[in-house]
Amino acid sequence: MFDRFGVRRLALCAMLGLLCAWTAPCQAATLHAIVICDTLDETIGKGVCRNLNNFHYELERIADYADLELSEEIFSGDDYDAVQIFDYVHALEVESDDVVVYYHSSHGYRTSMMEECWPALFFGWENQALRLSDVVDVIKQKPQRFALVMADVCNNFVPDEHAPEFYCKQTDLWDYLSGWWDSDDTVKRDNYKHLFRDFHGTIVSCGAQPGQYSWINLYTGSFFTNSVLSSLRECTRELCTDWESIFSLAVTKTVGLSQSYPGVTRQDPQYQIEEIH
């Protein structure tokens, strides 16, 4: 027997289902930020704290302008622990449309036995180290759309028999952040979305070439970190930009800073951009 009321009920349910599907908001992609800073180090801790603050504020701006939901995990102070950090990176669960940002500010070094160009990340209290290349390998195995890895650490050589002991020098230098607030907000938002939502691939960078120091200002932060952040802000003021332009400018800024002061050796950051088409 034809149940016209049943048909009506089915039709009503279909309409409600369609309405729910139409009005449900799209789930935002997540910006997974892993921020690692050795803020308790006696020699560079003060400058690393400044790096932490500068990078945190930029992450909030990225999430806002690129329409990403920020999930930030900070390892600093007593939480600056190699095992804890590597386990967290291993266990991190991401979706295919997510973005992963790994930022590390601490001492670093390399030995003659290391074949890769990337440094080792030093954990002084434990006398342990992580290879940046191992961290990158773990992150690249995850399904995120875009991963940005930055290690603002030295890359100078230490004797193999003394590793992971590290030798570092620093001086009080000046901030290199450029202005950013005088450009059109729509242009900046479009550029942030283009950089963090449209790019598919992995970018790995560190503050120095093999054999070099990565310099830090104890009051305003590191040359490389500040140069990347200022280059990001400067380039996003233009009508269009890309990651190559940003990191190329950051290298130029960092080299210029290192050559501007007596007693400071040249610092050449390095980066690799692997885009998936």
Place of tokens 């009920």: 9
Q: In order of start, what are the domains of the chain with their CATH numbers? A: 28-275 (3.40.50.1460)
**Residue 130's closest CA among 157, 99, 108, 150?**
108
- CA 224 – CA 230 distance, rounded (Å): 10
- CA 158 – CA 148 distance, rounded (Å): 27
C-alpha radius of gyration, the chain, whole number: 22
- CA-CA-CA-CA torsion for 110, 220, 227, 178, nearest 10 degrees? 180
Phi, psi of 185, deg, nearest 5: -65, -35
- CA 162 – CA 165 distance, rounded (Å): 6
Place of tokens 């690799």: 272
Given a contact cutoff of 8 angstroms between Cβ atoms, the answer to whether 140 and 193 are in contact is no
What's the pTM? 0.84
Q: Which pLDDT does position 164 carry in this prediction?
A: 52
SS3 (DSSP) at 269: coil
Q: Which pLDDT does position 158 carry in this prediction?
A: 87
| CA distance between the termini of the chain | 57
CA-to-CA dists, residue 238 to 68, 166, 169, 187, 274, angstroms: 21, 41, 37, 7, 23
Q: For the chain, how many residues are written?
A: 277
Q: What is the mean pLDDT of each run of 10 residues along the chain (277 residues)?
A: 41 38 60 98 96 97 97 97 93 97 96 93 88 95 97 92 43 38 74 96 98 93 96 90 97 95 91 96
